[in-house]
Amino acid sequence: MKKSIFSIALGAALSLSALPADACTRILYETGTKSYLVGRSMDWMVDTQTDLWAFPKGMARDGGVGQGSIKWTAKHGSVISAFFNVGTVDGMNDAGLVANVLYLVESDYGDAAASKKPKLSIGAWGQYALDNFGTVAEAVTALQKEPFVIVAPDLPGGHKAGAHLAIADASGDSAIFEYLGGKLVIHHGPQYTVMTNSPSYDQQLAINTYWNTVGGLQFLPGTARAADRFARISWNLNAAAKESDPRLATATTFSLIRAISVPLGIADPKQPNIASTVWRTVSDEQAKRYYFESAYNPAIFWVDLEKVLPAAGGKPMKLDLSGRPMLSGEVSDKFVAAEPFKFLSK
């Protein structure tokens, strides 16, 4: 007998009791002029020591895991947020493609050691997408062929490096990539506007379908768990006004992602992966503007990609955020040349 959407949702919800509550939220917001912004929160147990980087097109890259690593040359320049300077977890390229890497405990990339495919560090997954593709359709066509196998060593602090990838482009197209049971699963289409964490994306959609029948004006789940955040932000995103003024559109995207954030200092000893929001980003895909907000500072700053990206073949540039400097406004002039970080390898 075919299961109803509600039985699937119930099973998924019950299974959450065996899973840690994970971190981070991503949304794709449509403006009144049919342009798009991507908002994202980074929730983690400690400060992620994030710096911003500007990488030029023409940059030679490899998968970061030594012998057998995949190699490529960047077709696009990008501005990114690094995670402990071992991985690209967020960013936008010069074509307006946005990549967001979020934690997913169920991730299973298969046996990399047994595979004959070129290897790619989990820390390089988002960067590979930004370097190589200008649209979601282009990325899906290439990545569904699985040109590499992902290697996922433990993260700094010993946490499992499980993650899924969301991408969006200036047309509003969107895709979610997950590796489950060693197999790549892709959800492709503009309807995929929200991503959080556990459970897997098909189960998140089923749970959210249930909450849609309840109605956000009646009741929405209120915890910091990933499935609850998925339901709340989905309803809020659909209810939010589609602003035509670029400033109001940016403000609306920030208001949505702030509303789903976890306050500083929130922790649950029974759910060790419930974590405070440590930073937020908004990527304006039409204006090619990348906004960054640290939860530790009461200010927003941004980078105009046309101003900051090095010329093709130029040196990478870094905005050092150690010490939590108080920044506001456009900050391209504060980037300095630096050797690029190495992707997570061991």
Report how far residue 36's alpha carbon sits from residue 288's, in angstroms, rounded to the nearest whole number.
Answer: 11
- Looking at residue 57, its amino acid is K
In tens, the pLDDT along 252-304 reads 999 999 999 999 987 666 665 678 999 999 999 999 999 999 999 999 999 99
Contact yes or no for 329/289 (Cβ under 8 A): no
Q: How many CA atoms lie within 13 A of 47 on its CB side?
A: 11
d(CA 188, CA 175): 4
Q: Tell me which residue has tokens 């065996």.
A: 18
Q: What is the pLDDT of residue 215?
A: 74
Q: Is the pLDDT of residue 48 over 60?
A: yes
Domains contained in the chain, CATH given: 5-337 (3.60.60.10)
Kindly list the strands in the beta sheet with 277-284, ordered across the sheet, starting from the edge strand earlier in the chain: 194-195, 25-30, 36-43, 277-284, 289-294, 300-304, 329-330
Check residue 213 and give its pLDDT. Answer: 74
C-beta separation of 313 from 56 below 8 A: yes
Helix (H) / strand (E) containing 300: strand 300-304
Both structure tokens of 98:
């946005």
One-letter amino acid of 80: I
- Residue 19 clears pLDDT 50, i.e. is over it: no
38 neighbors 22 (Cβ within 8 angstroms): no
User: Does residue 58 have a pLDDT over 50?
Assistant: yes
Please state, for a pLDDT cut of 70, what percent of the chain lies above it.
91
Q: Which of 12, 21, 23, 24 is catalytic?
A: 24
Cβ burial of 309 (10 Å; 0-12, 13-18, 19+) is buried
**24 carries an active-site annotation:** yes
